Chain A
Amino acid sequence: EPEVTQTPSHQVTQMGQEVILRCVPISNHLYFYWYRQILGQKVEFLVSFYNNEISEKSEIFDDQFSVERPDGSNFTLKIRSTKLEDSAMYFCASSPLAGGENEQFFGPGTRLTVL
């Protein structure tokens, strides 16, 4: 069964450093998402991406964040200058279609630790 994959599973970085989190969505999906979950809290939407551009972003997704689909398979989240409060689990998800009645498939997550 096709699945969303994410690398690395765990990333440790120093405050102020740039990190890139990588995701490979399911191959025939068109919509891609990043969510984050701070430890012990609920999952929060960051950004959605369709047709090579951002379709929606949350207040969390400020200028320090960017997303890119550099080729036909990868979908990346870049944090330009990490802060302590960026420590969280980051989930990538993909969906074949948009709209309320379509499932999103989540990857296993990348745990980011900022020291």
Chain B
Amino acid sequence: AQKITQTQPGMFVQEKEAVTLDCTYDTSDQSYGLFWYKQPSSGEMIFLIYQGSYDEQNATEGRYSLNFQKARKSANLVISASQLGDSAMYFCAMRAGRASKIIFGSGTRLSIRP
């Protein structure tokens, strides 16, 4: 069975600090993709970053990077130099094998303190 686990329901971080949001996954498929989405209070799902299972380098997109540790089945999101606008819900998600659906973790609510 495929599963995404986010163990941090909520986090508080000081502005300008770096923050790591944890995500572990479980799948028996060799080919899969890992995603992070941001959901602000307005409700939309904003795509942040993607890591393919065959990518040897960690994905980076601006202030976002994905710390991909395949052997540990972890895909943590790192946000450098956090900003007040980063306060939101963050979801880790996976799409595995021939399946086309995405499964989501339960999310981490990130709050940035000024």
Chain A residues within CB distance 8 Å of chain B:
31, 33, 35, 41-45, 48, 50, 55-56, 58, 89, 91, 93, 95, 98-106, 108-109, 111
Known A43-B91, A56-B101; judge A103-B31 contact (CB<8 A). no
CA distance A58 to B50 in the complex (A): 24
Which residue of chain A lies nearest to B27 when distances are taken between CB atoms in the complex? A100
Q: Determine whether the beta carbon of A100 is less than 8 Å from that of B96.
A: yes
Interface residue range, chain B: 20 to 34
As a 0/1 sequence over residues 20 to 59 of chain B, the CB contacts with chain A under 8 angstroms (1 = contact) are 0000000001011101010000011101001011100000
CB distance from A98 to the nearest CB of B (A): 4
11 pairs from A and B in contact (CB 8 Å cutoff)? A43-B91, A43-B102, A56-B99, A56-B101, A93-B102, A99-B97, A100-B29, A100-B31, A101-B31, A106-B47, A109-B45
Pick from A33, A98, A100, A109: contact of B43, CB below 8 A: A109
Total A-B pairs in contact (CB under 8 Å)?
A: 79
Q: Which residues of A contact B107 (CB under 8 A)?
A: 42
Chain B residues within CB distance 8 Å of chain A:
29, 31-33, 35, 37, 43-45, 47, 50, 52-54, 91, 93-107
CA distance A93 to B104 in the complex (A): 14
Q: Which residues of A contact B44 (CB under 8 A)?
A: 106, 108-109
Q: Which residues of B contact A99 (CB under 8 A)?
A: 31, 95, 97-98, 100
Q: Determine whether the beta carbon of B33 is less than 8 Å from that of A103.
A: yes
- Starting from the known contacts A100-B94, A104-B102, 6 additional A-B residue pairs (CB-CB under 8 Å) come to A42-B107, A44-B104, A89-B43, A103-B33, A103-B35, A108-B43
Q: Determine whether the beta carbon of A101 is less than 8 Å from that of B102.
A: no
Q: Determine whether the beta carbon of A95 is less than 8 Å from that of B100.
A: yes
